[in-house]
Amino acid sequence: MKTAGIIIIGNEILSGKVTDINSPYLCVELRILGVEVKQIITIPDTPEIIGKTVLDFSERFTWVFTSGGIGPTHDDITVASIAQGFGTKLFESPQIIEAIHNYRGKSMTNAHRKMAMIPEGSELVEYAKGRAPQLQFHNIFVFPGIPELLKSRFSGIKERFRTTPIVLKQIFLRVDEGEIADSLDETQDAFPQLMLGSYPVISGTDYNVKLTLECRDNEYLEKALNFLCERLPEECVLRVE
């Protein structure tokens, strides 16, 4: 099973000045690809915290995705902090310098050159001709915090993450969760590989509980679905999708 951890970096997120929309986007996209996101964390622009968190995630998950802190200003310290956390030196990438120069021309400053400093051992993933390459360091993919840029870069490399898909079934009910709790417990016990979720809805739909059943084995999922449906009050089941 391929897993992922997402690290959102930035004081602006923690202060509420900016709303994170990158982690929801990555969660949806990675799920489609068959990758299970195991943890999301938001951390400040603090070198020690960034380095320690990225190192920890790198050891625990198949892939790590960071968002934020890779621009030319004083608080853009993500790359240097990752290098520090791994005890790795930085070097100026000629390929990134060329990409910045092609985009900025004579307006390129020393602050822009800062964005070309990357950890030794990094890989530059070309995702679009004429655009700056995506930085990969070990199993870590370092993305910008600007949503449009993150989406553009991720969409260009996402196929490398595709693995065995997660199959989903949904059951929509008109019932109180407490009335079906035992049935859910029995199903989870009988099918431990099943990812079973129950989500109540207050208003705005024709149902008030949605059950989700997920698994990478379609036959296993069908057996679990039939097992659960047999234990649910028939009059409460609106539909199965």
Q: Is the pLDDT of residue 178 over 90?
A: yes
Range of the domain at 76: 3-161
For residues 144-149, give the mean pLDDT: 96
Q: What is the pLDDT of residues 13-41, one digit of tens each?
A: 999 999 999 999 999 999 999 999 999 99
Give yes or no: residues 147 and 195 share one domain.
Answer: no
Give yes or no: residues 218 and 139 share one domain.
Answer: no
Give yes or no: residues 157 and 184 share one domain.
Answer: no
Mean pLDDT of the chain: 94
Kindly give the pairing relationship between strand 122-125 and strand 134-137: antiparallel
Q: Is the pLDDT of residue 130 over 70?
A: no
CATH number, domain with residue 67: 3.40.980.10
Per the listing, tokens 């809805």 go with: 201
Indicate the pTM of the whole model.
Answer: 0.91
Residue 129: per-residue pLDDT: 65
Q: What is the pLDDT of residues 190-210, one digit of tens each?
A: 999 999 999 999 988 999 999
Q: Is 121 left (phi over 0), alpha (psi -120 to 50) or beta?
A: left
